[in-house]
Chains A and B, each alone.
Chain A
Amino acid sequence: MNSLKRHAVAAATLLLALASPAFAQVTKYTEIKTPSLRSFTVVQPKRIVLGNGMIIFLQEDHELPLIRGSAAIRGGERDVPAAKTGLANIYGQAWRTGGTEAKTGDQLDELLESRAARIETAGGEDSSRVSFDVLKGDFDTVFPIFVELLQKPAFRQDKIDLAKTQARTGISRRNDDPGQILGREVRKLGYGSDSPYARVPEYSTIAAITREDLLAFHDRFVAPNNIILGVAGDFDSAAMEKKLRAAFESWKRGNGAPATVPPSGTPAKAGVYYVAKDDVTQSNIAVTHPATLLRKDPDYYAATVLNEILSGGFSGRLMSHIRSEAGLAYGVGGGIGAGWDRPMLFTVQMSTKSPTTIQSIELVKKEINDLQTTPFTAEELQHAKDTLLNAFVFTMDSKAKVLNQRVLLEFYGYPADYLQKYQHGIEAVTAADVERVAKKYVHPDQLAVLVVGNEKDFDKPLATVGKVTPIDITIPDSSPKPATAAATTTATTTSADASALVKKVQDFVGGKAAVDKLQATKIVSSRTAKTPGGDIDVEMEQTVQYPESVYQVVKTPMGEMTTVMTPSVAFANTPMGIQDLPASARADGRFDLLMVLKSMDKYTFAATGSEKVGDVNATIVTVSRDGASAKWYVDPATGRILRTVRNTPRGEVVADFGDWKAFSGLNLPGSFTLMMNGEKQGSATIKTVEVNPTVDPKIFQKPASK
């Protein structure tokens, strides 16, 4: 059967070969001829230097009706003080989301997305970027926003807070994924944990970043003589140049480029470093030491060939030996790092199952030793060089790539013909060159070995590799709760319009004087509550001692239920016993209307939109404190609260207020209805309100357990 099939195929190919004599039958790949690559002109972008020092590259590309641009601005995370680590990231986010002087970020979102246009900002290690991507017909609408973002950003506080929440989320999650732990800790070992290239944001450094810091960062770096702008797409260069000159030529010079920042840390000593992680079945392993190479060094070419021999594709030594031949890893790779303007690290990384951890470390170390002891064969050298040179065309296979490279070279002050030199440099590398750089830049005796894993499952104790130093990756608790971080920014977060509206709310309730004199309130209400057994009527008595101690008794047919929430305790006392309440319940209790109006300085208010409630177009005020928030839907004309919305662990609770009337000198809602997750939960009618009643302090104390 098999042989029959093969005959049939052979006959068919024979016929085909007869029919088209150009195609000879091939059995071995070496028989295939390689025609020379067709000649191909790389179109270089047009370089323009404005009088104020701004450098612009224009690259026409008429394939699609799109225009894309990106401004690279020198200065980044490495230029900020250690105490504010994370600033460039917050800056990069809030720059775009915080909007321009003329438009909020939310308005920009609407405007851009309805046109399928994008403007994005990002803060990086040594630079920040603003980019746009627009259908060519929308260029004249969108480009002015790009300019405005460069020249008149607003960094609105609500978006700085949002970026900080994102950053805190990142910190809280940074020990979940072992690969992420490895990447972070290996940089700390290689550069030293105090190096600008290794340090990581902490809750405290994020909390320390202020709006003023972001504005100062912007003023320091964003100036025409520190910007390289590249624009590519479907435009006429002369017309585009005119538009760009009109937009930027009058922009005043500022500070020039910041100085390059050296690594300046204290690298770890040779040895073994261990991060314990007990929820993994695999060890993540890295070995490292500092490297001293830059891309502009003549040795860079030989080092690139060495890296290709060690770690190129699937056929490099590491993948070939450790993955294909030993079956020990899915991924393994590394090499000598070389930065554009600063040295990097020599590293090799891999992951393997816990029971082959030590075996794998030994293999990796052997491969590194072999770089100095096993001669590079002529075949290895030629393979690496062919691989690099034949793939060289992919560095310039699109006009956008050519443009981006020119911007990059300009950014780091490299000559425009760097890539051509690179090609010749690789061609000229000899085996002796590779041997020399292997000895110069690789130091098998200086390796710090890092393992993230579960040592009890290792093949041998980690100490067999060397002296083990444990690394504690516990996330510093200096400011662990979102509370502290938010509190530090409270004073500045409230926007002027939200603040005015909240004052209006206060006035509506009775005015500042009436609210100020409140020390305590006791409110009795009757409520209808939804239970699995049907609706029941209960009476609720709530005593609040300001600023924020709450005592609440609910009388139900099943018995009394007491809830107490103060800054120090939070518990419920029910017929089933005493239970502590979660922090979320306490946070929830802090959004009582009078409590907020009494201590407005502890909350932040942001006007976050508008929505119809009944016939009124209500302004939504987001009230935030300690990372929690509630939304007030306020009638902007009167300051009357129509609705509040809170997110609780059980779901979203919506309260609709009505029947506002006078109670003991205060104007309060006489009734309200409660909805949870869109379903009606009950309603309430206020019966009495007592202002400044005598409050027995004992009601807030937690009784001993029954």
Chain B
Amino acid sequence: MRDTRRSTPVLAVCLLLAASSLFAQDLASFEKRTTLKKLDNGLTLIVMERPEAPVFSYATVVNVGSAREVPGITGLAHMFEHMAFKGSENVGSTNYPEEKVSLQKVEEAYAAYDAERRKETGADQAKVAQLEQAWKDSIAAANKYVVPEEFSRIVDRAGAVGVNAFTQSDETVYFYSLPSNRVELWAYLESERFLHPVFREFYKERDVVFEERRMRTESSPFGRVIEQFLAAAFTAHPYGFPTVGWPSDLKSFSATDAVNFFHKYYVPSNMVIAVVGDVKTAEVMPLLEKYFGRLPKAPAPEALRTVEPEQKAERTVVLHEKSQPIYLEGYHRPSATDPDDPVYDVIEMLLSSGRTSRLYRSLVRDKKIAAQAQGFNGFPGSKYPSLFTFLAITTPGHTPADVTAAIAQELDRLKNEDVSPEELASVKTRVKAGLLRRLDNNAGLALELAQTQTLYGDWRELFRSVDKIDKVTAADVRRVANATFNVNNRTIAYVDNSPAKTASATTPKGESK
């Protein structure tokens, strides 16, 4: 045991060197096969050749997420993501010119209905019912033109896999993979999505999104805790909003709101598209330019003004409910573009990566107070100052208080003791290998290239991040831990299922119909 330990530093350094040289070669090979082109309209295209098999993947990253929402339209970024599967002027309609007119009528009818029902005083319920019926009738009229799921049918039939999209606080991402003889079909469909979007079936899709909210947030203990945690941790910055949206907004915003949001944020200069796979850059770039060059140039959205103020008091949120304890603890930290970002990455690895990680060893292996314990960066986003967040799942008989104490002990260690050279070297080796292991997959590469380009303005940062982490020292870790992990900068949220409190808390319940 002791012998092993003593030999570790020397070994680890050798390993690190060996991994580095291999690593540098591989990264150089990937970099060489990657080309970036910025179109005149401001759109950024990235193509990486990876001709392993006749397939390709793409990711479109739009630099807008729920953090660009304001009260009243929370959930709209995600709602638009759903609309992007509803087709366009040329996909999904039997007669677009007529459909367009009928969709305008839906908007007028909805505006009238929504204005009446939301009157703060004196809403006339009979009139509300009448306007609601008129709105529903207008929807029925518009639906006559709909070719259901035509967009999905086209891509599915072409052999697409992994057709999906997601919305986060920072960004909205669209992606799938196709056989490589379908590049032009894809370029056409993807550009049509953002060139000629049509907000058809908007209100039905709003119901679908509300079901997603019920599933992920309302009916899931994790969802409930996370929503409360973020709402408590952020007082000013929109990171405190749930990405899926608050219930009132989800029941109220309109297709017109979505159109406005789209025109503001879905501009070419706010979008990055990456294609990875069996493509030849020289052939595919002009093709992409042909289709995506059609997107009209528009001014880039103004940068977000609000910055979360310094937290000056600890916040604790307790959910009294029947489910087993779930524990979250967060500390504000700077954005991903901060020079200390790599230090936070190292701290995350030290605390959470693998069975040698400190939280696993302390909370799971030794104290056995948690079945799972992790600390991670970038929650709920990383573009703006966000949270370093701890998550723990207690074992039977152990309480959130046990977790608070055990995490505090590990944070004290980080603040007061230097990380050993072996531990630091091990982390750095794993960061490198981790990147290497992510390079054998078109879909993952497309996503990471587009995300990195969006966040840092340079996709090469994906590979450079490793060099930055290599430079992190033990002193950096202590300095950043001391600057971050302080009680007044802490928000704790947990489920308390002790019987007495839970009984009184859960009696009134139920969906308002």
Contacts and interface: CB of A to CB of B under 8 A. Distances in A.
A452 B328 CA distance: 27
Contacts of B399: 584, 649
B208 A397 contact: no
Interface string A48-76: 00000000000000011110000000000
Nearest to B290: A23
Interface in B159-187: 159-161, 163, 177, 179-182, 184-185
Given A107-B4, A313-B163, A351 B422 contact: no
Nearest to A30: B154
B293 to A, nearest CB: 7
B432 A107 contact: no
B439 interface: yes
Contacts of B22: 65, 135-137
Contacts of A65: 22, 26, 436
A177 interface: yes
A387 B159 contact: yes
Nearest to A23: B290
A389 B179 CA distance: 11
A38 B371 contact: no
Interface stretch (A183-191, A248-256, A318-326): A318-326
Contact of A12 (B209, B294, B439): B294
A495 B54 CA distance: 56
Contacts of B331: none
Contacts of B398: 647
Interface in B429-480: 429-430, 432-434, 436-437, 439-441
Contacts of B149: 314-315, 319-320, 324
B211 interface: yes
A482 B397 contact: yes
Given A27-B90, A677-B405, A312 B355 contact: no
B395 interface: yes
Given A176-B221, A397-B55, A391 B160 contact: yes
B181 A173 contact: no
B399 to A, nearest CB: 5
Nearest to A583: B397
A323 B211 CA distance: 10
A282 B214 contact: yes
A20 B394 CA distance: 63
Interface of B is mostly: helix
B90 to A, nearest CB: 6
Given A9-B296, A29-B90, A313-B152, A329 B208 contact: yes
A122 to B, nearest CB: 15
Nearest to B143: A325
B134 interface: no
Interface string B176-216: 01011110110011000000000001011111111110110
Interface stretch (B119-127, B231-239, B503-511): B503-511
Given A63-B52, A113-B426, A162-B368, A35 B181 contact: yes
Contacts of A328: 207, 211
Given A63-B52, A386-B157, A29 B354 contact: no
B15 A330 contact: no
A383 B188 contact: no
Contact of B290 (A20, A36, A386, A627): A20
Interface stretch (B68-76, B299-307, B376-384, B406-414): B406-414
Interface stretch (A143-151, A273-281, A525-533, A658-666): A273-281
B215 A330 contact: yes
Given A32-B188, A282-B215, A324-B204, A177 B220 contact: yes
A282 B55 CA distance: 39
B91 interface: yes
Nearest to B425: A114
Interface stretch (A163-171, A223-231, A418-426): A163-171
Nearest to A382: B157
Interface string B14-46: 010011001000100000000000000000000
B337 to A, nearest CB: 27
B181 A330 contact: no
Contacts of A176: 221, 323-324
B367 interface: yes
Given A135-B433, A162-B368, A165-B395, A32 B15 contact: no
B313 interface: no
A110 B8 contact: yes
A341 interface: no
B395 A482 contact: yes
A390 interface: yes
B319 to A, nearest CB: 10
Of A114, A170, A279, A454, chain B has the most CB atoms within 10 Å of the CB of A114
B367 to A, nearest CB: 5
A396 B55 CA distance: 10
A38 B280 CA distance: 13
A456 interface: yes
A330 B180 contact: no
Interface string A322-343: 0111111111000000000000
A494 interface: no
B429 A390 contact: no
A393 B395 contact: no
Contacts of A394: 55, 159, 161, 177
A82 interface: no
Interface in B139-164: 148-149, 152-154, 156-161, 163
A643 B314 CA distance: 32
Contact of B429 (A110, A115, A331, A383): A115
A329 B290 CA distance: 38
Contacts of A330: 208-209, 211-212, 215
Contacts of B402: 647-649
Contacts of B395: 165-166, 168-169, 482, 627
A97 B355 contact: yes
A327 B401 contact: no
B54 A38 contact: yes
B69 to A, nearest CB: 20
Given A9-B294, A29-B188, A110 B356 contact: yes
Contacts of A482: 395-397
A335 B55 CA distance: 28
Given A355-B513, A390-B179, A107 B1 contact: yes
Contacts of B19: 116, 135, 137
B406 A63 contact: no
B391 interface: no
Interface string A19-43: 0100100111100111111101000
Nearest to A174: B324
Interface in A96-114: 97, 105-107, 109-111, 113-114
A29 B185 contact: yes
Nearest to B82: A330
A327 B441 CA distance: 34
A433 B278 CA distance: 36
11 contacts: A8-B296, A32-B184, A65-B22, A66-B436, A113-B354, A172-B396, A279-B506, A280-B219, A456-B510, A627-B395, A647-B369
Interface of B: 1, 4, 8, 11-12, 15, 18-19, 22, 26, 52-55, 85, 90-91, 148-149, 152-154, 156-161, 163, 177, 179-182, 184-185, 188-189, 201, 203-212, 214-215, 218-222, 278, 286-287, 289-290, 293-294, 296, 321-324, 353-356, 364-369, 371, 393-399, 401-402, 404-406, 408-409, 412, 422, 425-426, 429-430, 432-434, 436-437, 439-441, 506, 509-511, 513
CB-based closest 5 A-B pairs: A390-B159, A116-B433, A651-B405, A327-B207, A327-B204
Given A16-B293, A37-B180, A172-B396, 19 more contacts: A64-B439, A106-B365, A137-B19, A168-B395, A173-B324, A176-B221, A313-B156, A315-B152, A320-B148, A324-B201, A325-B204, A328-B207, A383-B157, A387-B156, A391-B161, A457-B511, A627-B396, A627-B397, A677-B409
